[in-house]
Amino acid sequence: MAAVLEVLVWWIALTGIWLVLISTVDPLEVLVGAVAALAAALLARAGRRAVAAQ
């Protein structure tokens, strides 16, 4: 459950940053940003786990 919560927090933060930085909030741009933010959130979790394991 903690892993899901961590990825969710990353995803919300990254999606929020994306929405603030784009000039036009178009549905396609929101979708692309949300998918990219999910990928980045998963990579952030994996990277944090890799560093913590050392």
Along the 54 residues of the chain, how does pLDDT read in single tens digits?
A: 999 999 999 999 999 999 999 888 899 999 999 999 999 999 999 999 999 986
What is the number of structural domains in the chain?
1
pLDDT for res 53: 80
Q: How far is it, in rounded angstroms, from Cα 54 to Cα 37?
A: 26
| pTM as predicted | 0.85
Q: For residue range 33-46, list pLDDT tens digits in order.
A: 999 999 999 999 99
pLDDT for res 21: 92
Encoded tokens for 23: 């000039």
Q: Which candidate, 52, 25, 22, places its Cα nearest to that of 6?
A: 52
pLDDT for res 24: 83
Determine the structural domain holding residue 33 and report its residue range. 2-52
Encoded tokens for 8: 């969710």
Check if the beta carbon of residue 13 is closer than 8 Å to that of residue 51.
Answer: no
